[in-house]
Amino acid sequence: MKYLTQSAIILVISSAVLLSGCTQRDPSEELRPLLEKYVGYWNTGNFQGIEEVLHPDFELRMTPEYTPEKGIGSFQESITKWRTAYPDFHIDIREWVFDSGKAAALWTITATNNGPGTHPPTGKHIKVSGMSIVHFEDGKIRDEWIASNDLLWMTQLGFKLIPPKTDSDK
């Protein structure tokens, strides 16, 4: 009987140790705070603590060509330009999906084109949805890949897409 009790205790302890070692940590616990600070940079233009959030080799890639903007300084310049052209620029995250070392987001940007930028200010308001994939390295954000509808953005600002003339138009 004593042997059976000792065996049962050993079995319970062994099972507890094995099961506690098998539980996976929720990646959102580590990644969400970094992403909330990162979205805050976009929404405020305040870059306090950015070196603790972005990897030194950070890259920002956006549609349509995904050409990388490299480095923390380049990121700050880019956000400053966006916030100059669109002073009320705001990203609303609709959904986050987390995995080990990466996250994806569905978001909506709202903004009014009141400042100088790549084109003259139109005073028009935009609302555009998109998605991002963010990768992490060494506990920091390594890169973001942004996909959005640039044509919708431009048409909301009042720009028009004009088809090329064809032979039948002449």
Average pLDDT, the chain: 89
Residue 2 pLDDT grade (very low, low, confident, very high; cuts 50, 70, 90) = low
Rounded CA separation 132/139 (Å): 18
What does the pLDDT look like over 47-100, one tens digit per residue?
999 999 999 999 999 999 999 999 999 999 999 999 999 999 999 999 999 998
Sequence-distant (6+) residues with CB within 8 A of 130 are 63, 106, 107, 108, 109, 146, 147, 148, 149
Sheet with 140-148, side-by-side order of all strands: 69-70, 54-62, 140-148, 125-137, 102-112, 90-99
Domain boundaries, the chain: 26-160
pLDDT at 156 (0 to 100): 96
pLDDT at 111 (0 to 100): 97
What does the pLDDT look like over 104-113, one tens digit per residue?
999 999 999 9
Q: State the residue for tokens 């969400």.
A: 32
What does the pLDDT look like over 10-42, one tens digit per residue?
666 666 555 555 567 887 788 899 999 999 999
pTM (2 d.p.): 0.81
Which CATH architecture best describes the domain 26-160? Roll (3.10)
The SS3 of residue 1 is coil
Average pLDDT, integer, range 134-142:
96
Q: Are 129 and 106 in contact (CB under 8 A)?
A: yes
Residue 166 in this model has a pLDDT that exceeds 90: no
